[in-house]
Structure 1
């Protein structure tokens, strides 16, 4: 059943709102509600967010836990720092498309000052250190309802009541996003797919690499065979980084192959745009 993704600054009220939603759903739907977050993994946040590898491991564990709990009967609420510069929101969108279940975002919007105050008012064992808190605020990327993976979006201020009816309608009265070639599992039917996957992704890398000689940040690069364009990145990307992303994409595509190989370019461009920004 549906997935609710909480987002906002650290100490912006996400956990309180998640508990309010959990209580509402349990009382009014009769469904089981799972809240997934760092606490459910026994992760110590100041340690996790001071080490990039531990942070990656926790994010992977959270995604895996959501994937395990999403089913046709229960409601899952992901209560975590879901918009701290990464591709997790897009990956969650792919997950719910594959599971064919609706989702929505609840954005707890607060100012730096309010979140800082709420952090200092916590028990010392629950507080973020100031360095970690400041770094997470700087890295936060606000959701944008124009993105498919950020919609429907409910923005909640600190004194607002949750719009329970609107959230329920988004989860229970809206159709799940249809699975597409990039999320629908299919058996590998021929070696042609693997050949095209290897060839097309290599061609995309060469377009990016060659464009770096003449392009400036903000340029849109045209990729042969793709309708979507690559947004030229704000930092120089070396071939080692591009090859690593290519390998990751190929591993994913092998388990989610498409019979329409003409979609590979677009899928890879979408993956790169999300991964490198």
Structure 2
């Protein structure tokens, strides 16, 4: 259904606000809303220690664990709350793209607290959840503040440390009534060609060369050419002159080279490739018409 990304300084009260949001959403769902589940993911629930943010070598796999968990639990029947630092805008953009790929809604909740207050609250934590003072100061400096001016942070809700309430009504509207943005073309899955696509491409183009060479003996203009043994026929526009085997072979090599990319890399006709014998024959006829005059 939606992803709610919590962002803020270490020890700024993010977990407290995340639990408040979870409780408010569950109350709405129990009262009169559709029956979805509300799931809270956090560094704690995923066993990511504060020390993971001490060094980049440890932080990268920690973010990988967070992202993998988000991908695993994103669903049309789930409101997912991600309670973590989420302090890097590139990581928030990565989450945004994952949500768009699933055609779900998203919003960001920015928990604001003064750095001195974060240091004070951190000092009162137990050892297992205590952030090293040097790491805390480092994270405060590196924090990339969410902005309502960029699409991956919007809609953005800012909650100050001394706000008595959370904007649960606005968050509810954002995740239930907000616009669902279509997937980015870069995230769309590419349709895979069948396992025999290369053989069909080579066999059909070879058959087309033989058929066209034979048909060209009868003159130019639109000509019906039979291809293969399944009764497939294709209309080919032949030039008025006689075609030679060498030029048809050259056209065939170029055609096969271009369309191999669609099979191996998915770079041609993304998501709409038809590798049937008839389709390949028609494509070859169109390609040949452009190459031979």
Same topology, TM > 0.5? yes
Aligned to 1:36, the other structure's residue is in SS state: strand
Which position in structure 2 is the counterpart of 1:194?
none
Which position in structure 1 is the counterpart of 2:23?
23
Q: Is the 8 A contact 2:53 2:59 kept in 1?
A: yes
Q: Is the 8 A contact 1:11 1:119 kept in 2?
A: yes
Deviation of the 1:42 alpha carbon: 1.2
1:6 and 2:15 correspond: no
Give the TM-score normalised by the residue count of structure 2: 0.63
Deviation of the 1:34 alpha carbon: 1.3
Counterparts of 2:68 and 2:11 in 1: how far apart (Å)? 24
Which position in structure 2 is the counterpart of 1:61?
65
Which position in structure 1 is the counterpart of 2:40?
35
Which position in structure 1 is the counterpart of 2:114?
111
Counterparts of 2:139 and 2:5 in 1: how far apart (Å)? 18
Give the TM-score normalised by the residue count of structure 1: 0.66
Counterparts of 1:58 and 1:117 in 2: how far apart (Å)? 25
Which position in structure 2 is the counterpart of 1:44?
49
Q: Is the 8 A contact 1:3 1:78 kept in 2?
A: yes
Instruction: Deviation per CA, 1:206-248: give whole Å up to 9, x if none.
Output: xxxxxxxxxxxxxxxxxxxxxxxxxxxxxxxxxxxxxxxxxxx
Q: Is the 8 A contact 1:2 1:70 kept in 2?
A: yes
Instruction: Tell me which protein shows more strand as a share of its residues.
Output: 2
Deviation of the 1:81 alpha carbon: 1.1
Q: CA, structure 1 residues 151+27, in 2 after alignment: closer, same or farther (shift >3 Å)?
A: same
Counterparts of 2:133 and 2:48 in 1: how far apart (Å)? 18
Q: CA, structure 1 residues 86+151, in 2 after alignment: closer, same or farther (shift >3 Å)?
A: closer
Q: Is the 8 A contact 1:186 1:257 kept in 2?
A: no
Which position in structure 2 is the counterpart of 1:99?
102
Which position in structure 2 is the counterpart of 1:80?
84
Counterparts of 1:3 and 1:256 in 2: how far apart (Å)? 31
5+ unaligned residues in a row in structure 2: which ranges?
31-35, 194-264, 272-293
Deviation of the 1:256 alpha carbon: 10
Counterparts of 2:120 and 2:266 in 1: how far apart (Å)? 46
Instruction: Deviation per CA, 1:229-270: give whole Å up to 9, x if none.
Output: xxxxxxxxxxxxxxxxxxxxxxxxx7999849xxxxxxxxxx
Q: Is the 8 A contact 1:185 1:257 kept in 2?
A: no
1:132 and 2:135 correspond: yes
Instruction: Deviation per CA, 1:186-219: give whole Å up to 9, x if none.
Output: 3156xxxxxxxxxxxxxxxxxxxxxxxxxxxxxx
Deviation of the 1:155 alpha carbon: 0.6
Q: How many residues align?
A: 196
Deviation of the 1:165 alpha carbon: 0.6
Q: Name whichever of 92-101 and 28-37 sits farther off.
A: 28-37
Q: Which of 167, 171, 183 is 2:171 aligned to?
A: 167
Deviation of the 1:18 alpha carbon: 0.5
Aligned to 1:87, the other structure's residue is in SS state: helix
Aligned to 2:187, the other structure's residue is in SS state: coil
Counterparts of 2:166 and 2:137 in 1: how far apart (Å)? 27
Which position in structure 2 is the counterpart of 1:274?
none
Counterparts of 1:40 and 1:11 in 2: how far apart (Å)? 16
Q: Which of 149, 152, 163 is 1:149 aligned to?
A: 152
5+ unaligned residues in a row in structure 1: which ranges?
190-253, 261-277
Aligned to 1:41, the other structure's residue is in SS state: coil
Deviation of the 1:157 alpha carbon: 0.5
Q: Cα RMSD (Å) of the superposition?
A: 2.3
